């Protein structure tokens, strides 16, 4: 899975270029994020605007990614309706930080 990254100040923004984070793609997703965040000490924002589908395996991969960035919360920008629903059902919307979009994630003190 292709995950692009950009550094904005102390924030790394990772763009997930895939319509699905699911059982078939979970391992590739986690590996791509691990490679991109390895030497980054600051906030980690995943721009998931293109992601139309998340299943429980993909959710597990997001938890795995959070464990790669100890002491920080994983931040998600632009989650669509299916991802928001899966996060809400499992109460993981209280564990990750959700932003309406990438722009909001980069605003100071945003926590949409």
Partner 1 sequence: MTLGGRVLFRDRFAGTEAGVSGALSRAQADLGASPLGVERRDNLVIVLGEVLNNSVEHGMADRTDGWIEMIIRMNPADRAEVAIADDGRPLPLHLLQGAQAPDVTVDADAMPEGGFGWFIIHTLVDDMTYERADGRNHLTFSI
Q: Which of 7, 24, 100, 111 is in the footprint of partner 1 by CB under 8 A?
A: 24
Alpha-helical regions (H) of the chain? 26-37, 56-67, 81-89, 102-106
22 scored as a contact of partner 1 (CB under 8 A): yes
Q: Per CB under 8 A, does 100 bind partner 1?
A: no
106 counts as binding partner 1 under rule CB under 8 A? no
- Please, what is the minimum distance in Å from the beta carbon of residue 72 to partner 1? 9
C-beta of residue 28 within 8 angstroms of C-beta of residue 1: yes
> What are φ and ψ of residue 89, in 5° steps?
-60, -40
Q: State in angstroms the smallest separation of the CB of 48 from partner 1.
A: 16
Report the alpha-carbon distance of residue 12 to residue 43 in Å, rounded: 6
User: Which residue lies nearer to partner 1 by CB, 42 or 64?
Assistant: 64
Residue 2 or 94: the one with the smaller Cβ distance to partner 1 is 94
Q: In whole angstroms, what is the distance from residue 50 CA to residue 15 CA?
A: 8
Q: Which of 31, 35, 94, 103 is close enough to bind partner 1 by CB under 8 A?
A: 94
């Amino acid at each position: 899975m292709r995950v692009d990254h950009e550094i904005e100040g102390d924030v790394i923004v990772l763009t997930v270029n895939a319509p699905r984070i699911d059982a078939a793609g979970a391992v590739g997703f986690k590996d791509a994020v691990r490679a991109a965040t390895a030497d980054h000490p600051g906030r980690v924002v995943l721009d998931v605007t293109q992601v139309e589908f998340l299943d429980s395996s993909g959710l597990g991969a997001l938890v795995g990614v959070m464990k790669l960035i100890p002491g920080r919360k994983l931040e998600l920008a632009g989650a669509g309706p299916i991802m928001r629903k899966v996060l809400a059902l499992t109460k993981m919307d209280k564990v990750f930080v959700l932003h309406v979009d990438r722009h909001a994630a980069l605003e100071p003190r945003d926590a949409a």
